[in-house]
Structure formats: structure tokens, C-alpha cells
A = this chain, B = another copy of it.
Amino acid sequence: MSFPSPLAIASRNPGKLREILAICADWPVTWLTVETHEGPWPTVEEPHDTYLENALAKARTVATALGAAALADDSGIEVDALGGGPGPRSARYAGEGATDRQNLETLIRALAGVPASGRTARYRCVAAVVWPDGREVWAEGHCEGTLLARPRGTGGFGYDPIFVPAGWERTMAELAPEEKDRISHRGRALRHLRELLEREP
């Protein structure tokens, strides 16, 4: 196995951080997180038009700043009625610095009048590990679903309160955390990434 340790998590989002730690609990690594690390923590940006470029940019920034391998993910929601948008711009759909709630309300308004049959969407995630020497590994995961007109549930984050995964009747925000992690785009991407790291020479 070739898991880098320590491995930094390039996210300041406490919800995402906890999700990653739970999904990757069985990775043989010591984690560096903004919450337990002493000393300055780099600020990362996601300026690109693809998940992969954003994930790699975030992981590279943290790997360079801390001198340790870094794990980053970038994810978004692809709404068929919006031509696949907002996609990699999901976190700033309502504008730069938008909150989850503002983004969610913007998407609900954008879909007003769209019938249930046209409310298909998918969450997509690319997770990447970058080593300080420049080596990179990444993997993708997605989760198909449909979008409600009104939010339900308090779990998760992002667009979870209106996203009903295929095969479920509850929204992602109504699932227990371990149910979400089993089927989510992030869970799938990180488990795929784990397989790639296990195979690394």
C-alpha cells in the first residue's frame, strides 16, 4: 500500500471534513486538518471550470504550504433542466461567497415550474491526492437523483435538502450520515480513490 501519512485534508468546511473523516476512517494515515493542526492553514480557491482542476488546485496549494500530501475534493450538482449546471460552480451559484442556503434558494427558484419528470440531476465529486513531489491520483463518484420544490431535512449540506437519491424517498438531508456516505458521490469517489492508493507502487 502507498498511503501518504500524514495526509492533509484541504477543506475548511466542518461538515465536509467530518464526512471525509468518517468515510476514510479505515485509511492507514494520520490526518492533518485545519481543526487539529497548530500553525497557519492555507486558503484554497476553486477558480476552475472542472471538478478535477479545482480538486487538484486545492490539494496542490495545501501540499505545498504544509509540505505534506493533501487530499481535496471538488463536487457539484448537475441539473438536466439547467443543461448540466451549475456543476463545478455549485458552491458559488448564488454568487461569490454565497451560503448554502442562498445557493439552495437560487436553485429552487431556477426550477420553479419545472415538472417532476424534468427534475433529474446528479451530484458529482472528484477526489484527488497530491504529494509534495507532484505525484497525483484522483477518482470520480456520482449519485443520481431528483430535485424537490421544497427543502426537507437538516442533515448534510449544500443541495442535500432537495436532492432525493434514486431508489430513496428521503432527501439526502433526511438520510442518516452513514446512509448518505454509502451512496453519496463523495463516498463513492473516496472509496474509489482508496482502491487506487492501495494499488500505487
**Residues of A in contact with B (beta carbons under 8 Å apart):** 5-6, 9, 14-15, 17-18, 21-23, 25-33, 35-37, 154, 176-178, 181
Contact = CB atoms under 8 A, between A and B. Distances in A.
Nearest to A19: B18
Contacts of A32: 25-26
A26 to B, nearest CB: 4
A33 B178 CA distance: 11
Contacts of A178: 14, 35
16 contacts: A6-B26, A14-B177, A15-B177, A17-B22, A18-B18, A18-B22, A21-B22, A21-B25, A22-B33, A25-B31, A25-B35, A25-B36, A26-B30, A26-B36, A35-B181, A154-B154
Contacts of A15: 177
A15 to B, nearest CB: 8
A25 B14 contact: no
A176 B35 CA distance: 12
A13 to B, nearest CB: 10
Contacts of A31: 25-26
Nearest to A182: B35
A155 to B, nearest CB: 10
Contacts of A23: 36
Contacts of A17: 22
Nearest to A26: B36
Contacts of A29: 30
